[in-house]
């Protein structure tokens, strides 16, 4: 789980969400978490971003299906895809939340120290209402897969924010 159990008002928490291509799950988590911190009045205490392990979609908007399903829930999922950079992202971010076991394996394999490796967490570890080991990739699925991914992301981001705030 997270090493944070209450916010330090003198610190800005920098968190990164990572999935395979940065066009479905991680930009959705970015948008969901941003809205949650904004609604909680904590915008100035968080810097939120997302990235993909691969560079296939760098510069592109998220998958239209994820954007459409997100819009139905009131999210603006419009982050431009970027690739995860171990050299830049490990030193910069306080925590890195991955969507599945393959993401976890790849990102932790790029860590150069135990401290960097300890920053990597599975987003599914913060689920409170659903039971799932991962946030599955909806890319090759249908509308129900995008809805399920958003259900899990909303649940986990809510649990994650509760970890930070201690509420």
137 is annotated as an active-site residue: yes
Token look-up 């592109």 returns 60
Q: What is the 8-class DSSP label of residue 116?
A: H
d(CA 70, CA 68) in angstroms, rounded, equals 5
Beta bridge partners of 132: none
Q: H or E segment at 46?
A: strand 46-52
25 in catalytic set: yes
CA angle 23, 61, 140 (to 5 degrees): 35
Cα distances (Å, whole numbers) of residue 78 to 9, 98, 112: 29, 19, 31
Q: Which of 25, 67, 82, 122 is catalytic?
A: 25
Cβ atoms within 10 A of the Cβ of 63, count?
21
Among candidate residues 63, 89, 100, 137, the one labeled active-site is: 137
Q: Annotated catalytic sites, by residue?
A: 19, 25, 137
């Amino acid at each position: 789980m997270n090493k944070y159990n209450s916010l330090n008002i003198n610190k800005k928490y920098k968190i990164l969400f990572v999935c395979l291509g940065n066009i479905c799950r991680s930009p959705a988590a970015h948008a969901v978490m941003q809205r949650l911190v904004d609604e909680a009045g904590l915008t100035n205490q968080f810097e939120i971003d997302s990235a993909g392990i691969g560079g296939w979609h760098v510069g592109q908007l998220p998958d239209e299906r994820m954007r459409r399903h997100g819009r139905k829930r009131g999210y603006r999922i419009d982050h431009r895809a970027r690739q995860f950079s171990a050299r830049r992202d490990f030193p910069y971010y306080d925590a890195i939340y991955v969507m599945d076991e393959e993401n976890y394996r790849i990102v932790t394999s790029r860590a150069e120290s135990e401290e960097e490796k300890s920053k990597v967490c599975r987003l599914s570890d913060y689920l409170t209402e659903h039971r799932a080991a991962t946030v599955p990739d909806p890319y090759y699925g249908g509308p129900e897969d995008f809805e399920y991914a958003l259900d899990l992301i909303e649940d986990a981001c809510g649990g994650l924010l509760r970890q930070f705030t201690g509420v």
